[in-house]
Amino acid sequence: MVIVMEKGHTEAQRQAVIGILTEFNLKGHVSEGDTETLIGAVGDTKAAREYPFDSLPGVCSVLKISKPYKLANRKFHPDDTVIKVGDVHIGNGFLTIIAGPCAVESREQMLTIARAVKKAGAHMLRGGAFKPRTSPYSFQGLGEDGLRILADAREETGLPIVTEMTSPMQVDLMVKYVDVIQIGMRNMQNFELLKSAGRIGKPVLLKRHQSATIEEWLMSAEYIMSEGNDQVILCERGILTFDKEHNRNTLDISAVLAVKKVTHLPIIVDPSHACGRREDVPALSRAIVAVGAHGLEIEVHHDPDKALSDGPQSLYPEQFERLMRELNIISMAVEGGGRMLPQLMAEKAGEEIGIFQD
Amino acid sequence: MVIVMEKGHTEAQRQAVIGILTEFNLKGHVSEGDTETLIGAVGDTKAAREYPFDSLPGVCSVLKISKPYKLANRKFHPDDTVIKVGDVHIGNGFLTIIAGPCAVESREQMLTIARAVKKAGAHMLRGGAFKPRTSPYSFQGLGEDGLRILADAREETGLPIVTEMTSPMQVDLMVKYVDVIQIGMRNMQNFELLKSAGRIGKPVLLKRHQSATIEEWLMSAEYIMSEGNDQVILCERGILTFDKEHNRNTLDISAVLAVKKVTHLPIIVDPSHACGRREDVPALSRAIVAVGAHGLEIEVHHDPDKALSDGPQSLYPEQFERLMRELNIISMAVEGGGRMLPQLMAEKAGEEIGIFQD
Amino acid sequence: MVIVMEKGHTEAQRQAVIGILTEFNLKGHVSEGDTETLIGAVGDTKAAREYPFDSLPGVCSVLKISKPYKLANRKFHPDDTVIKVGDVHIGNGFLTIIAGPCAVESREQMLTIARAVKKAGAHMLRGGAFKPRTSPYSFQGLGEDGLRILADAREETGLPIVTEMTSPMQVDLMVKYVDVIQIGMRNMQNFELLKSAGRIGKPVLLKRHQSATIEEWLMSAEYIMSEGNDQVILCERGILTFDKEHNRNTLDISAVLAVKKVTHLPIIVDPSHACGRREDVPALSRAIVAVGAHGLEIEVHHDPDKALSDGPQSLYPEQFERLMRELNIISMAVEGGGRMLPQLMAEKAGEEIGIFQD
Amino acid sequence: MVIVMEKGHTEAQRQAVIGILTEFNLKGHVSEGDTETLIGAVGDTKAAREYPFDSLPGVCSVLKISKPYKLANRKFHPDDTVIKVGDVHIGNGFLTIIAGPCAVESREQMLTIARAVKKAGAHMLRGGAFKPRTSPYSFQGLGEDGLRILADAREETGLPIVTEMTSPMQVDLMVKYVDVIQIGMRNMQNFELLKSAGRIGKPVLLKRHQSATIEEWLMSAEYIMSEGNDQVILCERGILTFDKEHNRNTLDISAVLAVKKVTHLPIIVDPSHACGRREDVPALSRAIVAVGAHGLEIEVHHDPDKALSDGPQSLYPEQFERLMRELNIISMAVEGGGRMLPQLMAEKAGEEIGIFQD
């Protein structure tokens, strides 16, 4: 339920609405848009549905929201959310590229890759210190040592860092070192983790589980948001299908379109995990930009044959650099599509590929 | 099993190989490439596998093909197949757009749409005269009357026509009226129909069943090809997944990449049936070109609210026209991507969207 | 739309209703149940929905049917349909076992197996003469020769025969030789074939496509029934899922429960094709009976190592015999479950397994 | 890699093998079976594979294990694992029924249901105190208060209690109150939770994620076992498919057969969550016993209309009682099937249903 306030309503009128919501055990979440003020009723709204909110002074109308997600619902927040991480924007009007290795393996490895992706124009740096691996016998990440290395890479390159949180017990480490907290697909419905991550107050990048519907995914975003944190970045990374021979998962590019209709949160896509093979990443990345996503998360490694995880799907730095130029061109053909920053790159891209020449 | 002949082998040597294959109940299918001649052993090759073909005069080597499809296998035919329908090319180096209504409804409807898609730059015209509908109570198509109307539309616009065949009993009609025979997804494993269509000798556009693996799809192509017809165009149109709320099927763009690796046949994509809604078709079409498909099949209707089938997923002619310009730009960013014909359009596109102006 | 007539309505009142339906281009399909007479409106009912049928003389009420299948809908035909093939019943109250090889391979093979399954208590004999194989290079069946052998096996054993039809061109052969026409899963939406099979007037066993929803499956039954043939037997045989390592398809036993709720048609299950391996067939068969299916279709072969198709999933005759005894016991624990005929077997089963002895 | 020791090998020989494994960073996990002693090499075995273990004194042979799970692998532990919880056995030869409400709601509710399921013959009691709900606005469980109530119910009925753990922070509570720790399907790949649960040392009931392959599921069991805890009970509860209209998930009964082949761990099935509706639970339960599962977990509630979660899928106590009798009969038809305890029930069941009477 969303209560739309009249233009020029008074603070007292607003407080009256919130007071009544409180009596129904609901939180009144105020969202001030460009043209109107909305009060979202957050909680179990069953009991309040019959109350005549629309006859209260200062109230313009009441929107019933049939979807179970409220804070994430575009009806409640019609304007696109654009998240800022330092100078980097994620959301409508921007095309944001997050790149880096699957796992932090060593200081040298991480700094080498950080410099390479920075040079190619990436906006944020990814790297895992806590690795959720299918096998207990696989490399499990460097832990806090890995976070320290990431912080050093940020120090040198200026790129904000994105890294995965896997347990509520890592809250202090996330507070200390990280810019964007990633929730991996296997933990998408680890609700205790979502609540812990939400309370930290930093942007959260929430991967879609391979078997999650759009609605289940947004309900997980709602868990984070219900802790008072509106900064959620959605990330599609491939869904489960019957054909696993050619791709680990099937990249669901139409999810980008579905998500943009029903939520105001930004949506990016990770092509590396969907296909699981380097050779397919550039073509899928072009398609992701063409369909209108707000960004990509791509795995890059300077020496993938020796990578401790996900080597086969990591791009070489020079592939990544070339891909960045292709993406820039495609973004220009997308109506309302995002632009990469710095814009300088666009010109350079045309020049090198040679298609803008007479 | 593919037998690679030496350069400069004699006709007698070639015939000797074919003769031995015949003794094993195998057909010897000769493919002369730019640099070498291959003889494919078509049939059940179990018995012949132990025979020492590589010691025969004129034979260079023998390739074992582990996949059950042979004629469709890129190993057997390394060069891309480019199919010609009149002046239209489908395959590597070309981006071919097939457009038109789901069903032929009337002469006026068909001619109106044919003119519109011709004007926007489409290369071929689609329209169904025999409609496989889920319900026996839905419009089942105009039958031969519909084919006559399609022929008239071809007459006026010069566009080759693509239409669906649904029964082996329609062979004569297909011979008389049609340029490209379409096999719908529900009939992808209707083997009697595949054999009938294959024997006609015209190009066949084979849609992927929503539940078919790449291999099952290529085995169906093999049914057509084993009748002596190499002109098969593959068409992805969405696969079955667990989430049907936002899309009828999930468009599997990574299938384009998988198909290009394992077969020499051209691959196009139909975004209309995957998403089932007009508003998503342009964005998906951009992604399809960006990922490197050889073409698209798109539903267009001048009055979709009154369409007898698939109205909600049909583009308005003016949407289609705008989309054609966007696709042209994106195709230029795709390395090795197809170009639309006539090339004239590309310049026009840049001009109108304004991105090439300095 | 179903029109429920009053008890004691006159023939003239009934004809009046049918006459009005005809004006709306609908067929009036009369179904006389134990307690009431229903007239189903078959066709596209959109236009007729506003007509006040319930104010006509002799009409008791009008049921709206929201599902697109009408003739197959339990609302239209509340009593279970029980199909008779000679002395064999298929439907509520019966547990009917169809057994035999995948394909007819030779007279000797077929007669050997027919005798074995007859001895073990099977009620009908299966065997394919037209085989829809994934590969054009695999054994495609003996055609009419196979049908002749099946007819001979029926002659000797008295078992009605079930065999697959794959093309509308086989109508005459089906009329001449067959008792129950099987439509394979790949042809479930081959609508031209469904119409041809429906017109023959013999019972049709309709396999569910691995990717078909219950509704799509029943719409295919509707195609057969709309040709005036009410004798459709549904057959679940495994659905498509993400895990193909251990089973080709996942047997969907809950489909039995879903089908029984929405349709009056009998539902049997084929465990052999779902699992694809002999060792799992007995356990799955027990589960199928326990869940309440009306029967099973099971592959049996006396020499499966030499079978031309589906050898690995065929039971040996002695396994089949033992299984029949187990099934008989389980059927007795199923409330409202079917009983096998002859009932004599039940006692024998208890005796041999020894659980009824005190 | 599993090293099979010779009969009569010495302790020194065994220690030598373990010592060499240690040099390769592997743990030597000793399993003494009835006839032979096995030493499993647990960890990343890549480096050790070339070492000639089979030439060491006391070593009989070396088995390569191609599957990534080792401790859960039947090759490493050929005998079935039977887990004991007080007097209750779970595993080969037993049919163990776990019943109770979805969530602990109040002392009265829990005790009422506990008494009812005890009376009907259930062996363990389920009830959730920490509820992972899709929505943050739904009832989240009573927490420690719920655990106290469960302990009281155990005190009164003697039934061991099974309850879900959702965070590594609940370790102390699990140690204090619980008999069997349940890991819910959403947390199946919450590896931090698996490790925490494994370290507690109590039996763990591990639900299969709706999208997990058998192998992924066993890898999660491996996480628990690699902490030194061999007591893992697997629980299938429905998998993700394309048809959600009639069932939330598709119950995968063939998983029971697959699991029994590849692992020694017991496998039970939860029909309530798969179907999501009370009316289907009895028939599915019968199928589960008929296919050969080692037990069931079933939701029962005395007043399901007022249940705070999962009401529609909970059986009434009297339905559960009747079902228990049916299951007992079916279990007798399953070769090698489990028997319910106390055996007394079997006779009673026959008597009441009346099938054993002459």
* Chain C residue with the nearest C-alpha to that of B188: C186
Mutate to test the interface with C, among A210, A240, A242 (most CBs of C within 10 A): A242
Rounded to 5°, angle at Cα D94 from D91 and D95: 105
- Answer with the residue of higher pLDDT: B233 or A7: B233
List pLDDT tens digits, range C324-351: 998 988 888 786 555 664 433 434 444 4
> Which residues in chain B touch residue D241, judged by CB atoms under 8 angstroms apart?
242
Q: ipTM beyond 0.90?
A: no
For chain C, how far is it from start to end, CA to CA, in angstroms?
Answer: 56
Which of D274, D290, D355 is closest, CB to CB, to C286?
Answer: D290
Contact D332 C326 (CB under 8 A): no
Least confident window among A187-191, B347-351, C19-23, D297-301: B347-351
Interface of chain A against chain D, CB under 8 Å?
42-44, 68, 132-138, 166-169, 186-187, 189-193, 195, 209-211, 216, 219, 222-223, 226, 240
Mean of all residue pLDDT scores within chain B? 90
Interface of chain B against chain A, CB under 8 Å?
211, 213-215, 239-243, 245-247, 250-258, 274-275, 279-280, 283-284, 286-292, 326, 329-330, 332-335, 353, 355-356
Could you give the CA distance from residue A219 to residue B290 in angstroms, rounded to a whole number? Answer: 32
Interface of chain C against chain D, CB under 8 Å?
211, 213-215, 239-243, 245-247, 250-258, 274-275, 279-280, 283-284, 286-292, 326, 329-330, 332-335, 353, 355-356
- What pLDDT score was predicted for residue D66? 77
- Work out the average pLDDT over C59-78: 88
Residue A104 is which amino acid? V
Mutate to test the interface with B, among D242, D244, D249 (most CBs of B within 10 A): D242
Q: What is the CA radius of gyration of chain D?
A: 22
List pLDDT tens digits, range A205-237: 999 999 999 999 999 999 999 999 999 999 999
Percent of chain C at pLDDT > 70 equals: 93
Mutate to test the interface with C, among B26, B69, B190, B223 (most CBs of C within 10 A): B190
B–C: how many Cβ contacts below 8 A? 79
Distances in whole angstroms, Cα of residue B272 to Cα of each of A88, B90, B269, C126, D332: 36, 20, 9, 41, 55
Token pair 């990436």 in the structure block, residue: A122
Peptide bond before residue A342 is cis, with ω within 30 degrees of 0? yes
> Which residues in chain A touch residue D226, judged by CB atoms under 8 angstroms apart?
136-137
- What pLDDT score was predicted for residue C81? 96
Contacts of residue A173, defined as CB under 8 A and 6 or more positions apart, other chains included, come to A144, A147
Percent of chain B at pLDDT > 90 equals: 72
Over 80: is that where the pLDDT of D9 sits? yes
> Which residues in chain B touch residue A280, judged by CB atoms under 8 angstroms apart?
254, 257
Mutate to test the interface with C, among D66, D218, D236, D243 (most CBs of C within 10 A): D243
Least confident window among A50-59, A183-192, B338-347, D46-55: B338-347
List pLDDT tens digits, range B85-110: 999 999 999 999 999 999 999 999 99
Contacts of residue D172, defined as CB under 8 A and 6 or more positions apart, other chains included, come to none
Could you give the CA distance from residue A37 to residue A2 in angstroms, rounded to a whole number? Answer: 10
Could you give the CA distance from residue A37 to residue A14 in angstroms, rounded to a whole number? Answer: 10
Contact C240 A240 (CB under 8 A): no
List pLDDT tens digits, range B270-312: 999 999 999 999 999 999 999 999 999 999 999 999 998 888 9
List pLDDT tens digits, range B156-182: 999 999 999 999 999 999 999 999 999
- What pLDDT score was predicted for residue C351? 43
List pLDDT tens digits, range A72-101: 999 889 999 999 999 999 999 999 999 999
> Which residues in chain C touch residue D283, judged by CB atoms under 8 angstroms apart?
256-257, 290-292
- What pLDDT score was predicted for residue C333? 75
Which of D137, D192, D226 is closest, CB to CB, to A43?
Answer: D137
Percent of chain C at pLDDT > 90 equals: 72
- What pLDDT score was predicted for residue D351? 43
In 3D space, the residue among C254, C247, A220, A185 whose CA is nearest the CA of residue D237 turns out to be C254
Mutate to test the interface with D, among C253, C256, C263, C285 (most CBs of D within 10 A): C253
- How far does C243 lie from chain A, in Å, by closest CA? 7
Q: Which residues of D282-296 are buried (b: 16+ CB within 10 A; e: fewer)?
A: bbbbbbbbbbbbbbb
- Work out the average pLDDT over A287-310: 94
Contact C192 B169 (CB under 8 A): yes
> Which residues in chain B touch residue C249, judged by CB atoms under 8 angstroms apart?
none
List pLDDT tens digits, range C233-246: 999 999 999 988 88
Contact A190 D191 (CB under 8 A): no
Query: Which uninterrupted H or E stretch holds B256?
Result: helix B254-262
Contacts of residue C253, defined as CB under 8 A and 6 or more positions apart, other chains included, come to C236, C269, C287, C288, C291, C293, D251, D253, D284, D287
In this prediction the pTM is 0.90
Contact C44 B138 (CB under 8 A): yes
Mean of all residue pLDDT scores within chain C? 90
* Chain B residue with the nearest C-alpha to that of C226: B136
List pLDDT tens digits, range D244-266: 888 889 999 999 999 999 999 99
Could you give the CA distance from residue D205 to residue B177 in angstroms, rounded to a whole number? Answer: 65
